[in-house]
Amino acid sequence: MSTSADPLATLAALPGVTESVNAVRTAVDRVYGHRVMRRRSNEVTSEAALRGARGSAALAGADWALEEVRRRTDFGVEGEPRTVGAALRLTAEAGQLLSIWRQSPLRVLARLHLVAAGGAEGDEGIGRPRQSGEPVDEPLIGSDLPLPDADEVAGRLDGLARLLLAGSEAPALVTAAVVHGELLALRPFVSRNGLVARAAERIVLVGSGLDPKSICPAEVGYAELGAAPYMAALEGYASGTPEGMAVWIAHCGRAVELGVRESTAVCEALQRGAA
């Protein structure tokens, strides 16, 4: 990333990024202007949370139909049920952490991992960045990207926190994409990094004011676009090149647009009385 005073703003100026930002802003404004949002925004928020959790879990290897997520209750069972349960818990928790995020992003990330892992504070490897020699269980990424060592993780997490606390003139999409990409590239925890990264992106989008009611679930878009394009775009981010970063930000923007489309469909269903 750039060494300028505002590296996020530098990323926002990359070719193609402005177009992505404008497309997201237009889409978000459109769904917020839907007549259903005047009276039933809480229902849209709840539905977006459920669909977003389903999408995030799908990328983590538990690709369940939406109706299965609705009806199942066995989320403590190992394997796919536990992954879906982690995604649901993260979605519920993220909305409670906005004020803390503005003061201590690293504290929020630790909390998100604790929630995702479903353990207790102090459990081995839970709620803290991984230490030297600790393995990482992240099936989607596997060995496709080099895994930074614990010292690099600590340094880059600290740099990310300082960047966020310093503030930026960059659009919310750019900041959210960087948070998401950095966490995926670093894989700072021993497990559930993808779920945590997508929840952190959600916090940025909501806290920035772009999506204050959390009705634009980018996770839906990532799942719809598919794991292979997701990983290809992430490789662009990890490359650190301007072109690669722009590809990642554009991918994140397209995911938000697809999330908007999903919530627009929910609004239409509610309007027809079919939801």
233-260 pLDDT tens trace: 999 999 999 999 999 999 999 999 999 9
Residue 193, pLDDT score: 97
Q: For position 273, what pLDDT does the model report?
A: 84
DSSP output for 203-229:
HHHHHTTSSTT----HHHHHHHH-HHH
Q: What is the pLDDT of residue 33?
A: 97
CA atoms within 13 A on the CB side of 248: 26
Q: What are phi and psi of 186, to 5 degrees?
A: -80, -35
Rounded to whole angstroms, the Cα distance separating 191 from 212 reads: 29
| pLDDT value for 118 | 87
DSSP letters spanning 98-110: HHHHHH-HHHHHH
The tens place of each residue's pLDDT in the chain, 275 residues long, gives 444 579 999 999 999 999 999 999 999 999 999 999 999 999 999 999 999 999 999 999 999 999 999 999 989 888 999 999 999 999 999 989 999 999 999 999 999 999 999 875 557 789 999 999 999 999 888 777 999 999 999 999 999 999 999 999 999 999 999 999 999 999 999 999 999 999 999 999 999 999 999 999 999 999 999 999 999 999 999 999 999 999 999 999 999 999 999 999 999 999 998 54
Q: What is the per-residue pLDDT across 90-131, written as a single tens digit (0 to 9) for each?
A: 999 998 999 999 999 999 999 999 999 987 555 778 999 999
pLDDT of amino acid 188? 97
pTM of the model: 0.94
pLDDT for 2 equals: 43
Give residue 229's pLDDT. 97
Cα–Cα distance, 188 to 109 (Å, whole number): 10
**What number of H helices and E strands is found in the chain?**
13, 0
CB 254 within 8 A of CB 209: no
